[in-house]
Structure 1
């Protein structure tokens, strides 16, 4: 656990609040705000979204009292860029936190949240909130910049191979801390449950309601199929995966989703016991989903923006708020605006697309939901508008904007995103032009390093942790020309 914010600033905020209380009427009590991210959780494997297995009974019950978005999307296909978008309202091309390693003078550098990037947590801090965070994975740890405004932050220690925390372990450390928070101050709680992330290894000392008896009959007598598939091992083998591995992986993944849901239920029960849900805004979503071979050779995440890896759960509960299901596209980039709108606070500076509406507004969705994936030599953008999805692929960093592939997909008639089923008519091509302009505007921002990002030096321990979770390979990182200089202070807690 890390105490991250300077005490002097905390005292200053408390003092100003006390001064205001003495000089006039007390300000109205602010609601509890809870942001829960279910790492690596794709919507289609949740019963909340019609899945055949009861992987999320508690979330499903919460959804029946909430606004649920049927087509909600992450902004990236891995953890850090999507979380920064949640906290800033910006897309990866704007905030700059996207997956790219740089090797200089024997050091491995990584883009992280810049010191000057406005985050919703800064606004909450200034409004007098206690900020508590608890995360299960590495990319939401304090090393990468999201934790800078928090009073307390629980995270993996990185010691003795502790690269991740199960939801039950997070709760065990978090609940005593919540009990100590001043009940007179409003609470902002951020929790990242990491159970569903690979490797898929649910504890086998309990009985699960699925898979059904005989559903994985091929496991009988099989010694070459490990009962707990490890996605990182598959990646090292070049993704040559048997269909049996996929079925086994999904079964274990679903069991992890159930464990995660049980941790969520316990957390909400604890908040209710503490009286923190009488007036509350609770947002449950995911940073990205997961691929299980739906596209040829695609497993895990940090990949192109296909539906299983970008369509995420998004459930917004507000005391006395709307209870419905929305089919218009929504984005996790709307979360910061939703929080600030509900609290009556000033919105953060908007991105290139302008201000985005609150998820609780009467018309809660922007015209498009944008998703990005990038490498040093490729940028792929997906633009969602209604049932349409435009996928644009630039193959070289210095390519002209006209040199790209663009595919417009109707997800209602072509949910598998099969390029051979895309119409090749003049009218269909004309339909894609407005969306193509939006994608090109976003791509243009990628050609230069965002000023709000900075580079951090990763030490050997952090590199080992990322490798253990399948993020890094033995291939040497590539240096990209035009990267920003390395700041002098580049160390931090894992």
Structure 2
């Protein structure tokens, strides 16, 4: 081997490429983390970067270092970009309840459907990840190399005393970072395997809920519920998914999306109460369902469960669902006496239409049991929107109407306008199902049978209302704007103007069931004269809950 002139620079240090790699890495970390966590992650990333400025001689060692530094840096880059995507789209961290619950409650089919729905946003982040990968590979290849034997020059001469002093300080800081467990567990190579294990644990907890259900029944029995009205009673609670009230003609929307509910309203008058100002307090299904059935109380307070309370009061309870959802089935559905999971195709975004459960509801309503509570869980407009109505049943397709013109005027993209048309077609189909369930409830039993029916959505949906995107949206009011309707076959005061929050719905349903118990709070029951509205605390600014 022939070495260069001894007076030449002994090392190829390439400070510029190392600095560029560090800058890219720091930028990606800052995208996904805030405050001091950025410094913590930067220190955790430092060891491999230090290797880049430490000269190596052999080609094999150089290639090994290049590969290891690149893989190490990409772990931090992908961690930052995934976190940034979740923050941008859902204002949530990967360890948050929203993300953990959704990930634990999904499967390959639903994941593929989610990708088909969100691929545009995800493609931008994926392109950024690819660009970072290429740039980091280029930088990693240009780490320090030995050009003459190390004995020919001292390390102090090569780097300088101040450089070595700085390196010593950073080395101590890095050692302290790795010695600290709260810091160390943020490392992507530790965090994400632990995150996957958390998902497995969560799924295991959902898969074995019998003891929790037994405790819920015991708590309900201990509350000693009593009935305030004698005689037979049938109550139907319809919970749907991802319906924004702003897309219902019943609420003044510009497209004719609810002709059947409007016909029911014209016929029933004040017996059908359309709550104009209804809000969810959660923007995703699992926490919304938990708050609805647990009377708006946190699980840590060991609250009552509505279905357990109904059973303890003497009702036979049905759970009829078009969702294939293990978490909801185990936490809520299995508390019922009769469970009918109509949709057994994997994935909440399966192709089973909500009409599939109408026969099951009819059978439940014809059951001779004198007191019945029938809970119906619809797919509603859960994405994919195009799967929520039959093929060829989109009257808004290729229809340049006023709604489309309004969306275009505020700068909504073509694909958002397309999804809005599909969403409205899903709402139109949904209108027929909801109206059919109301009519079936009205027709059941004898004229003397007490009947009540309530309908609401678990959360709203963003379809170009407040931003140029579609889907679940904890960051815009559209994620929380829901419809809520109440009917019962007896006169009722006008409640339409009362604001309503979905986490209090159990108090209202208990009233429809005519149940009284120790701990009842009439102030949270929208049917009661003493109802006292309290605005929920949401992660988005709502100028007024009365709009």
By the TM > 0.5 criterion, same fold?
yes
Q: Report the equivalent of 2:311.
A: 125
- Give the CA deviation at 1:171: 1.6
Conserved in 1, the CA contact under 8 Å of 2:325 and 2:348? no
Name 1:55's counterpart in structure 2.
257
SS across alignment from 1:148: helix
Please list the CA deviations of residues 63-101 of structure 1 after superposition, one character each: whole Å capped at 9, or x if unmatched: 44322221111120111222222222115xx237xxxxx
Residue aligning to 1:357: 524
Which among 418, 425, 435 is matched to residue 265 of structure 1?
A: 435
1:347 CA displacement: 4.4
Q: Does 1:300 align with 2:485?
A: no
The answer to whether 1:90 aligns with 2:276 is no
Contact 1:131 / 1:188 at 8 angstroms: preserved in 2? yes
User: How many residue pairs align between the two structures?
Assistant: 313
2:485 matches 1:315:
yes
TM-score normalised by length of structure 1? 0.55
**CA deviation after TM superposition for structure 1 residue 282, in Å:** 1.1
**Between structures 1 and 2, the one with greater helix share:** 2
Instruction: State the distance in 1 between where 2:399 and 2:468 align.
Output: 29
Equivalence for 2:230: 28
Q: Secondary structure at the match of 2:253?
A: coil
Post-superposition offset of 1:50: 0.5
What is the RMSD computed on CA atoms of the aligned residues? 3.7
Q: Deviations over 1:121-165 (max 9, x none)?
A: 112101221111112234586544012321112225555667543
Look up the SS of the partner of 1:370 in the other structure. Answer: coil
CA distance in 1, matches of 2:524, 2:309: 18
Aligned to 1:254: 424
Partner residue, 1:198 = 383
Q: Is the 8 A contact 2:233 2:370 kept in 1?
A: no
Residues 157/357 of structure 1: CA separation in 2 closer, same or farther (3 Å cut):
closer
**Which of residues 171, 176, 191 is equivalent to 2:358?**
171
- The higher radius of gyration belongs to 2
Q: Does the alignment pair 1:189 with 2:374?
A: yes
From the two aligned structures, give the one with the greater strand fraction: 1
Q: CA deviation at 1:340?
A: 2.4
Q: Deviations over 1:204-258 (max 9, x none)?
A: 6445543574549x9xxxxxxxxxxxxxxxxxxxxxx961111111111111111
- Tell me if 1:369 matches 2:516: no
Provide the residue aligned with 1:70 in structure 2: 276
The CA distance in 2 between the partners of 1:330 and 1:411, in whole Å, is: 9
The answer on whether the counterparts of 1:34 and 1:189 sit within 8 Å (CA) in structure 2 is yes
Shift of 1:321: 3.1
Tell me, yes or no, if the aligned pair for 1:200 and 1:256 is still in contact at 8 Å. Answer: yes
Q: Deviations over 1:337-373 (max 9, x none)?
A: 12323444234757xxx76432111253x3323154x
Contact 1:329 1:368 in 2 (8 A): no
For residues 419-438 of structure 1, the aligned pairs below 5 Å read: none
Mark the CA change 1:127 to 1:360 in structure 2 (over 3 Å): closer, same or farther.
same
Shift, 1:310, TM fit = 0.7
- Tell me the TM-score normalised to structure 2 length: 0.50
